[in-house]
Amino acid sequence: QKEVEQNSGPLSVPEGAIASLNCTYSDRGSQSFFWYRQYSGKSPELIMFIYSNGDKEDGRFTAQLNKASQYVSLLIRDSQPSDSATYLCATHNDMRFGAGTRLTVKP
């Protein structure tokens, strides 16, 4: 079974801090990944798509992919209370998700 692993948290950071979320995967055939955000009681929504080794930045969000070590991470700079949600990573090729990490940003 192809696995996508995430630390379920919860992860708590103060407002303005950097939140770091991590995901590891077992299938070396996975080449690209999505990061989704899910607010409580809502559906997942896309934040980032990354397919190349290295960093990809979009506003306050930076996704990092390291294919050799088989991990993908998401950094949220200047965290805001509105960032409090569960963050899910997923493989692009078959849309398998990790269990998600619950993030709380405290004012």
Contacting positions for other proteins (CB under 8 A): 1, 8, 34, 43-46, 49, 88, 90, 92-100
Tokens at residue 93, please? Answer: 């090729």
Residues 18 and 80: their CA atoms lie apart, in Å, by: 10
In terms of phi and psi (left: phi > 0; alpha: psi -120 to 50; beta: otherwise), the region of 59 is left
How do strand 101-106 and strand 11-14 relate by DSSP bridges?
Answer: parallel
Residue 67 CB, nearest approach to other proteins (Å): 18
Residue 103 CB, nearest approach to other proteins (Å): 15
Residue 34 CB, nearest approach to other proteins (Å): 7
User: 44 or 65, CB closer to other proteins?
Assistant: 44
